[in-house]
Structure 1
Amino acid sequence: MTVRPATSADILQVVDMVETLRAAVGGPVAVDRPWTAQVIARLIASPDAGVWVSGAGFIAGSLQPTVISPAPIAMEHGWWASDGSGLRLLRAFEAWADERGAALVQLSTGAEGPDLARLGYRRAEQAWIK
């Protein structure tokens, strides 16, 4: 499965996948489709962000400083694949982050998500919601 940068023609398909992702991880907030489409469009258009797609997968992220350091962090905003392309999508995001000098890549997974240690990641924080 080919991984490529998303275009505006991919926005609605990515929104559909965001809904599937939210359901799969038990996300606590319903997807607001118009808002999500606007966010995806902004990420596609931004020089400091990107969205990549496969046949049935996507990854989206942006470069952001933190309150700790101005060094850019590549922050993933959504990552889903039901076609076996998850690792290829991640590698595209990592390559983009590296090309732009990101100090690190930050990912999130669902509570029962994959262990990314085998890919060189380590758990740094946990998210809590109320």
Structure 2
Amino acid sequence: MIRPATEADIPRIVDMVARLVAAVDGPQKLCRIRTGQTLAGLITSPDGFLAVSDHGFIAATITQTVISPDPCAVELGWWAERDGLSLLKAFEEWADRKGATLKKMSCKGGTAQRILERAGYRAAETAMVK
């Protein structure tokens, strides 16, 4: 079951973020305090979204780009050992309610990319990090 996260969920979601960091092998090290603060902010922000299931979470915010003033839903973190498609659908429904004209997800290939492609997402840019 997918539901809005509460403050009580934050420690468990931080643990899932740790698994996400290990899985993507990205350039940033996990700061559990900052992660917890960010998650708490998403719970209380009118532009924030944090949903959780027994096996995953998705975090997002509404922002704009320099290209357009239209609202853009940007995923900040997404981890699912199961329920990945259900979490994605919850994000999309929230984004639609917020009037987002663009939904932006990230992945490092693999299963997540296949789920996104089947859901109609396409590669628009490549993130380069240093």
- Normalising TM by the smaller chain, what interval? over 0.9
| 1:28 and 2:27 are equivalent in the alignment | yes
* Post-superposition CA distance 1:27-58 (Å, at most 9, x none): 21110000000000001110111100000200
Show the 5 A alignment for 1:67-82.
Answer: 67-82=66-81
The SS at the match of 1:122 is coil
The SS at the match of 2:69 is coil
Cα separation, 2, equivalents of 1:117 and 1:60: 19
RMSD in angstroms over aligned alpha carbons? 1.0
1:104: Cα distance to partner?
A: 1.3
How many residues in Structure 1 have an aligned counterpart in Structure 2?
128
1:114: Cα distance to partner?
A: 2.2
Cα separation, 1, equivalents of 2:100 and 2:109: 26
Is the 8 Å Cα contact of residues 71 and 102 (structure 1) preserved in structure 2? yes
Show the 5 A alignment for 1:1-130.
Answer: 2-82=1-81, 84-112=82-110, 113-115=112-114, 116-130=116-130
Long gaps (5+) in structure 1: none
Q: Which runs of 4 or more aligned residues in structure 1 lie more than 6 Å from their structure 2 counterparts after TM superposition?
A: none
1:92: Cα distance to partner?
A: 0.3
Cα separation, 2, equivalents of 1:53 and 1:59: 7
